[in-house]
Structure 1
Amino acid sequence: MKRQFPLHLYIATLSLLLILLAGGLIGAFGYKAARELLEASAVELTQRIGRETLGELQRIVGPAEMAVSMLAFDALGDATTLAQRRQRLALMREMLSNSDAVSALYVGYDTGDVFLLRRLHDAAARSATDAPDDAAYLLQSIERSAGRGRFLYLGPTLEVLRDDDRPDYAASYDPRSREWFAKAMASARGRVISPPYLFFSTQKVGTTLAMRSPNGRAVAASDILLETMNASLARQKVTPGSRVMLVSPRGLVIAHDGIERPVAVAADGTARLMHMQDLGLPAVAGLGPEIERMTGREPRTLHLELADGDWRVTLIPVLVEGAPPLCLVTAIPDRELLAAAFELRRTTLLVAGLVMLLAIPIAWGFARIVSRPLRALAGEAEAIRRFDFSHAVQADSPIAEVNALGLTMDAMRRAIRRFLDLSQAVAAEENFERLLPMLLGETLAAATADAAVLYLSDRDGLIPVAAARADGTSLMDTLLPLSRADAGPLIGRAVRSGAAQVGVLEAADIAGVGLDGVLQETTARHAVAVPLLNRQRHLVGVMLLLRHAPIGDDQLSFVSALSGSAATSLEARELIKAQKELFQALIELLAGAIDAKSPYTGGHCARVPELAKMLAAAACAETRGPFADFRLDDKGWEALHVAAWLHDCGKVTTPDYVVDKATKLETISDRIHEVRMRFEVLKRDAEIACLEAIASGADAPAARDRMAAEHQALDDDFAFLAACNEGGEFLASDAVARLAAIAARTWTRTLDDRIGLSHEERERKARTPPAAPPAIEPLLADRPDHAIERQPQDRIGEDPRWGFRMKVPRLLYDRGELHNLAVERGTLSEEERYKINEHIVQTLVMLSQLPFPKHLRQVPEIAGGHHEKMDGSGYPRGLTREQMSPMARMLAIADIFEALTAIDRPYKKGKTLSQAIAIMADMKRKQHIDPDLFDLFLRAGVYREYAEKFLRPDQIDAVDIAPYLGAGDTPLNP
């Protein structure tokens, strides 16, 4: 016998569990709130650190920037001798005194001269430069023309303490070879700032700021020390164990909260900036790749789980105008950051435990008092809780409330069971047309009615959609649509009131709904009209129930409640149906737009789905062979349908002028006309040269003969170019060589070729220096402005997460005249051919970004595989047969056969059946298409079924398929 426990034990246990749950939830929510507050505070603190670090950098760089700007605009930039330059020493000293961070100011000249004033602020700096003990400044000078280098050691008032000749300094140092000089000279703004680095003379971290003088002959610069950043970061620590550091994009430590000089010494004794990995801190050791990937201004927060605990790491970009980007790294251990939250959690759990100890005796006593009269119903309630409705609820107690509870529970059991049965039936039925009679039958049974009619509301009134007797016999043949005015008194009251109405059918009701014949065969005269209202209380329909006796109040309440569930189900299914219809309309709209976009596609997007579904139906009908187990349910058919309609949706992104390119020089227009005009100019030049020669006394017949020969050569060359432009034949190497020879001809341009252009073309023209007219131009050229660079948004095919294996050309378009004319086959260059093929890449990307429901998630794979080949040589992913679904392989065959036989392409005639099948048989032999599916395509007569529907009669010729079946290829399993 199963061991049993008294009910009061459950009640007491439940009470204690509720108390424990409440305490746990309070503790959990308190801990969560404290944690979120501390984490938010940490975020705010790290953002403040970022702002203060940026401010500190700007405070350091600002005076230096002002000093360099003043120095760049000072007369020092025009000085040519040391004596002239020394007159500006006082100004330079004042500039150095305005900022402790600026260690040196200097000017480099385009002649190779240097004038540098360095502050010797301590004994180490004087020792490093071999300066006298009382030296305050070091003046370093190079006069390139004299080949002389000098070190002048100056006192606080700029008096000369010692003057050393340093010829080796002049020989080894030339500012023009230095990066700061070259970048400042090349910069459009004329101002640059270097990444932080280790100064050679002081072994301290700093940066160099340089600015070109207005005359463009000199560059002013300053060396800036960043050592004050260490103390600033130390003040910003969030917790004692946290770490704050400023690093470069490569992970080099610029400043650190706990290290005065972040310098590492290599084995050979050379010093370098420390890398984050050199710090011995696991929390930041592996952050190098994360910092390198950072772009923009937004900070990033990482949560690291390490052996010494969890760490919260924040990466904040520090961007100073004109300077290379830096990154502020803040690493905070969770054990310190969340210490208060941990303590709150421990306290809450302790309090909850004490409350539990106090509640145990109270809950136990209360449970024993309450449970005694309910013990008989406990088992039944437990059964209902488990959704076990197989046993009726019985109660035998002297307590009236307990007996009433037993009866109510039994009624509840029956009602819940009916609702669950109906809900399960409705949920399992996805077809709207089959759902209607199901709802009617369930309601008819629940109301124990003799017959029932279901009407749905539309704009004109009520339309009967299902009607049946209790035995399942349909009554649809006798029913008529109802207008709101002619619905009869009973139905009219139900519609107006929005509530179920009960009554005896009157003559008007009987005649209005067409029930004359039904009521002659049954005694059912009592009726219930139940309005079906959706969640907005709008009328969805009406259900009319016919009974031989009046309905009870309990049944009426149940039917009313059931009608609400039925109305909701009808509304949901109607919405789903409407959404599917809208989705299908949008798909067909997009496919139609693609077909209408170019005459080269015709009705392709509409015909491929028909052919794909014919082939899929043939595969489903197979009972043996490789497709014996292949079957599609409604969801599978829907996935194939959607994929087939959208398989070329990426073509919406392909430019029309690329798709429709008929000649090699064609872009928006055919540039052969520009080339023709150049030939015309050369012919006019030859004629003018002839006339000038005759006018100057030359032999007229000889001059005209030379002109005729030149004209003939030009005509021959242009005729050759025009033939090459058509792209109808293979272009051999000797033809390419002749193109190069023709291109070597020159013509004279007398007009500016940089006016009247779009801003993009002006930018491309700016890649080469302008040639003032009259300019000698080659007859044909591949100019830099013909090259259109591939922008980041055009590099989808290079993204490894998509798995595309297509070779992506370096350029988006190359409109070079020679480059295009030298295309060996056809009219498309490599870049344009990729742009055509890229439509399948765009198809996959576009479809992969759509939130398809689960049963349609295979759509991108099906639609995106129709250019793949069974041997893996297709594109865009180079999939093999085993990597493709059967439906994707079916779509590939449908796409090829439709393209071969299409009759609405302006550039070609549709092939006959025999021609198309012969071509596809060769593709089967080369493992380009699925051999099993192609055999099925032929054997099941799919090709002929499609032909009779879509091809012209003259295309449908006799085909002997026997030679193409099998073809010696090794069969593959789908």
Structure 2
Amino acid sequence: MLSFLEASDTSIDDVGAHLKKMVEIGIALSAEKNIDTLFDMIVEEARALAMADSGTLYILDRDRNVLSFKILQNNSLGLHLKRTENAEILLPDVDLYHGESPNYENASSFAALQGKILNIPDVYASTTFDFTGPMKYDSVTGYRSQSMLVIPMKNHENEVIGVLQLLNAQEVESGRVVPFGDRCVSLVEALASQAAVALTNRQLIQEIKKLFYSFIETIAGAIDEKSPNTGDHIKRVVKITMALAMAVNESNQGLFKEHFFDDEEMEELRLSAWMHDVGKITTPEYVMDKSTRLESKFDRIHLIETRFSLIAEIVEKQYLEKQVKLLQSRETSSDIFLELEKARKENLSSIHEDLAFIKTCHRAEFVNDKMIHRLNKIAEKQYIVSGKIQPFLDPWELENLSIQKGSLNETERHIIENHATMTLKMLSCLPFPKNLSRVTDFAASHHERLNGTGYPRKLKGDALPLQARIIAIADIFEALSARDRPYRKRMEISHIFEIMGKMKENGHIDPDLFDLFVRSDIGKKVKL
């Protein structure tokens, strides 16, 4: 008795049923997004069509010139084995070449190289190919390989992308192993063609996605490399972002108990984190690297040092000239000379003290009102050079030395903050697909605050998406915990949480997310 597909009484209804099944299979294969699940479906559906007891799928690896094992299904042995990135290879890959010579001894390699279907009634009786592999497998497992169907899978360009190998076609009623019939071969060939198209589409999508992410990571790396002080900032923000998102998914209490990011949402969030600082590509390096108050394209403290050295020389010269005049006028009273010398020393000492104070303000973490008052007094002092009256400090120097916290003046702070606006503008120009349509909003909103005092759009409350709030916390924590910030030393976790706790109280960051961040111990789990 022949298999069901070869039965002489196959009716038009049966043929219609097979065609309907092929359409259903084609739709299912095309709709499947997970490539490992797609591998499983290909073998499972091929086995079902051919009534095959076992099936194996190999995918062509052009870089290594091998057929790479992916899936093995064997009903009799109850096996369902697959190759994963971390698992040991359960079946060996098949070399397409021995040196420079094509490997025609192996049936799967021959089918791949020649693009031909092989239908072998009994592998033990075959003298065309080397079946020591299946025979060795049989001796270990107790299985008996008999009929074999090997079909090359070809893409839309008629290139072989893999090989589907089926073993032991069975009669429907008796289960007896029989050769694969011609109609069965045609159906499986059609399935292999559909599967190759679906697989090629999925591989192309993966390759495009890989290319896109590689490009994004390259841009992110270039942005980080603009400054030696922000190296790997973006990469670390991505790591913290995804750790916090996973904590949301695993949370079984509070507001996040019912919230869960699916795979597409996680991908959208990951991409948003990678792109959150893309606008910094327009930020000047000297602003990003400004570690002290007088630093610009060069550190102007050196200019002030030179100026004060000149002022001291001028003062020395002025007192020397006074001494010469006294001698010429023959007013040689020792008291006059002593007073003059005392005045000279006091004047020079004042100049040196002023310079030392300026240097202190230049690098101080905070400059208070009292310090600013003294800076203003210094700036009021003048000296004359080449007949022109000059101030001890010019307006730009006074403005920057008077910065109370940090090293950026108002203009520079606006330049830094503009990177969020540029991120919004740049990403708004990109035609993101539907599943990534919110990347722009998430990425550009990481400096927004819940109370509406953030930038660039001053979003607040419910207008600020959860994903943007996650990136905001990741960005703040990374900035505070990083070893390489120019304007301060790395902080201890306790101090970081103290600062972020105040930000929570002041409505800057999401309080529930921050509590989850602390409770999940993400700060210690994520190695920065």
Scaled by the length of structure 2, the TM-score of the pair is: 0.81
Q: Deviations over 1:776-829 (max 9, x none)?
A: 5444334xxxxxxxxxxxxxxxxxxxxxxxxxxxxxxxxx23332333433321
Q: Following superposition of structure 1 onto structure 2, how do residues 227-266 of structure 1 map, counting pairs within 5 Å?
A: none
Match of 2:524 among 918, 939, 947: 947
Q: Is the 8 A contact 1:881 1:930 kept in 2?
A: no
Q: Following superposition of structure 1 onto structure 2, how do residues 243-322 of structure 1 map, counting pairs within 5 Å?
A: none
**Correspondence for 1:463:** 68
Q: Following superposition of structure 1 onto structure 2, how do residues 764-803 of structure 1 map, counting pairs within 5 Å?
A: 775-782=388-395
Q: Following superposition of structure 1 onto structure 2, how do residues 404-419 of structure 1 map, counting pairs within 5 Å?
A: 411=15, 413-414=16-17, 416-419=19-22
**Correspondence for 2:112:** 495
**Correspondence for 2:291:** 662
- Distance (whole Å) between structure 1 residues aligned to residue 370 and residue 90 of structure 2: 83
Structure 2 residue 117 is matched with structure 1 residue 480: no
Q: How far 1:735 moved relative to its partner?
A: 3.6
- Distance (whole Å) between structure 2 residues aligned to residue 530 and residue 495 of structure 1: 8
- Write the letter of the residue equivalent to 1:671: R
Distance 1:676 1:936, change over 3 A: closer
Distance 1:580 1:924, change over 3 A: same
Distance 1:738 1:588, change over 3 A: closer
Structure 2 residue 464 is matched with structure 1 residue 884: yes
Q: Is the 8 A contact 1:659 1:836 kept in 2?
A: yes
Q: Secondary structure of 2:93's partner?
A: coil
Q: Following superposition of structure 1 onto structure 2, how do residues 646-795 of structure 1 map, counting pairs within 5 Å?
A: 646-696=275-325, 697-698=328-329, 699=331, 701=337, 704-732=341-369, 735-736=372-373, 739=376, 742-743=379-380, 745-749=382-386, 775-782=388-395
Q: Deviations over 1:113-171 (max 9, x none)?
A: xxxxxxxxxxxxxxxxxxxxxxxxxxxxxxxxxxxxxxxxxxxxxxxxxxxxxxxxxxx
Q: Is the 8 A contact 1:900 1:916 kept in 2?
A: yes
- Distance (whole Å) between structure 1 residues aligned to residue 275 and residue 140 of structure 2: 53
Distance 1:496 1:593, change over 3 A: closer
- Distance (whole Å) between structure 1 residues aligned to residue 347 and residue 109 of structure 2: 98
Q: Is the 8 A contact 2:237 2:475 kept in 1?
A: yes
Q: Secondary structure of 1:453's partner?
A: strand
**Correspondence for 2:173:** none
Match of 1:867 among 436, 447, 451: 447
Structure 2 residue 138 is matched with structure 1 residue 517: yes
Structure 2 residue 149 is matched with structure 1 residue 528: yes
- Distance (whole Å) between structure 1 residues aligned to residue 135 and residue 95 of structure 2: 13
Give the total of aligned pairs. Answer: 485
Q: Could you list the runs of 5+ residues in structure 1 that have no partner in the other structure?
A: 1-406, 750-773, 783-815, 952-974
Scaled by the length of structure 1, the TM-score of the pair is: 0.46
Distance 1:713 1:473, change over 3 A: closer
- Distance (whole Å) between structure 2 residues aligned to residue 780 and residue 919 of structure 1: 35
Q: How far 1:436 moved relative to its partner?
A: 0.6
Q: Is the 8 A contact 1:861 1:888 kept in 2?
A: yes
Q: Is the 8 A contact 2:361 2:367 kept in 1?
A: no
Distance 1:734 1:673, change over 3 A: closer
**Correspondence for 2:481:** 901
Q: Secondary structure of 1:454's partner?
A: strand
Q: How far 1:602 moved relative to its partner?
A: 4.6
- Distance (whole Å) between structure 2 residues aligned to residue 489 and residue 718 of structure 1: 84
- Distance (whole Å) between structure 2 residues aligned to residue 469 and residue 563 of structure 1: 19
Q: Is the 8 A contact 2:493 2:523 kept in 1?
A: no
- Distance (whole Å) between structure 2 residues aligned to residue 726 and residue 654 of structure 1: 23
Q: Secondary structure of 2:257's partner?
A: coil
**Correspondence for 1:612:** 241
Q: Is the 8 A contact 1:490 1:502 kept in 2?
A: no
- Distance (whole Å) between structure 2 residues aligned to residue 530 and residue 708 of structure 1: 99
- Distance (whole Å) between structure 2 residues aligned to residue 481 and residue 499 of structure 1: 20
- Distance (whole Å) between structure 1 residues aligned to residue 81 and residue 316 of structure 2: 97
Q: Deviations over 1:238-273 (max 9, x none)?
A: xxxxxxxxxxxxxxxxxxxxxxxxxxxxxxxxxxxx
Q: Following superposition of structure 1 onto structure 2, how do residues 182-581 of structure 1 map, counting pairs within 5 Å?
A: 411=15, 413-414=16-17, 416-458=19-61, 459-470=64-75, 473-474=79-80, 479-485=91-97, 486=103, 488=105, 490-504=107-121, 505=123, 506=126, 508-513=129-134, 516-517=137-138, 525-546=146-167, 547=169, 548-581=177-210
Distance 1:598 1:468, change over 3 A: same
Q: How far 1:633 moved relative to its partner?
A: 1.2
Q: Is the 8 A contact 1:872 1:878 kept in 2?
A: yes
Q: Deviations over 1:464-497 (max 9, x none)?
A: 2112135773266873321125563643542343
- Distance (whole Å) between structure 2 residues aligned to residue 664 and residue 520 of structure 1: 76
Q: Is the 8 A contact 2:240 2:526 kept in 1?
A: no
- Distance (whole Å) between structure 2 residues aligned to residue 853 and residue 917 of structure 1: 37
Distance 1:550 1:484, change over 3 A: same
- Write the letter of the residue equivalent to 2:363: E
Q: Following superposition of structure 1 onto structure 2, how do residues 9-20 of structure 1 map, counting pairs within 5 Å?
A: none
Q: Following superposition of structure 1 onto structure 2, how do residues 40-51 of structure 1 map, counting pairs within 5 Å?
A: none
- Distance (whole Å) between structure 2 residues aligned to residue 416 and residue 470 of structure 1: 25
Q: How far 1:646 moved relative to its partner?
A: 2.6
Q: Deviations over 1:596-615 (max 9, x none)?
A: 44344354323333332232
**RMSD between aligned residues:** 3.2
Q: Secondary structure of 1:531's partner?
A: strand
Q: Is the 8 A contact 1:602 1:905 kept in 2?
A: no
Which structure has the larger Rg? 1
Q: How far 1:634 moved relative to its partner?
A: 0.9
Q: Is the 8 A contact 2:378 2:393 kept in 1?
A: no
- Write the letter of the residue equivalent to 1:567: A
Q: Deviations over 1:47-69 (max 9, x none)?
A: xxxxxxxxxxxxxxxxxxxxxxx
Distance 1:623 1:827, change over 3 A: closer
Q: Is the 8 A contact 1:665 1:820 kept in 2?
A: yes
Higher relative contact order (CA 8 A, sep 6+): 2
Q: Deviations over 1:434-471 (max 9, x none)?
A: 21111111122222323221111122321221121357
- Distance (whole Å) between structure 2 residues aligned to residue 904 and residue 821 of structure 1: 23
Q: Secondary structure of 2:164's partner?
A: strand
Match of 1:829 among 399, 403, 409: 409
Q: How far 1:500 moved relative to its partner?
A: 1.8
Q: Is the 8 A contact 2:239 2:526 kept in 1?
A: no
- Write the letter of the residue equivalent to 2:356: A
- Distance (whole Å) between structure 2 residues aligned to residue 826 and residue 467 of structure 1: 62
- Distance (whole Å) between structure 1 residues aligned to residue 286 and residue 141 of structure 2: 74
- Write the letter of the residue equivalent to 2:47: L
- Distance (whole Å) between structure 1 residues aligned to residue 43 and residue 403 of structure 2: 70
Q: Is the 8 A contact 1:599 1:905 kept in 2?
A: no
- Distance (whole Å) between structure 2 residues aligned to residue 720 and residue 705 of structure 1: 22
Q: Deviations over 1:680-709 (max 9, x none)?
A: 223323333333344441447265455444
Moved more, 437-446 or 604-613: 604-613
Q: How far 1:522 moved relative to its partner?
A: 6.0
- Distance (whole Å) between structure 2 residues aligned to residue 621 and residue 482 of structure 1: 42
Distance 1:654 1:579, change over 3 A: same
Structure 2 residue 503 is matched with structure 1 residue 923: yes
Distance 1:693 1:627, change over 3 A: closer
- Distance (whole Å) between structure 1 residues aligned to residue 208 and residue 524 of structure 2: 33
Q: How far 1:654 moved relative to its partner?
A: 2.4
- Write the letter of the residue equivalent to 2:202: R
- Distance (whole Å) between structure 2 residues aligned to residue 572 and residue 497 of structure 1: 23
Q: How far 1:719 moved relative to its partner?
A: 3.3
- Distance (whole Å) between structure 1 residues aligned to residue 324 and residue 489 of structure 2: 59
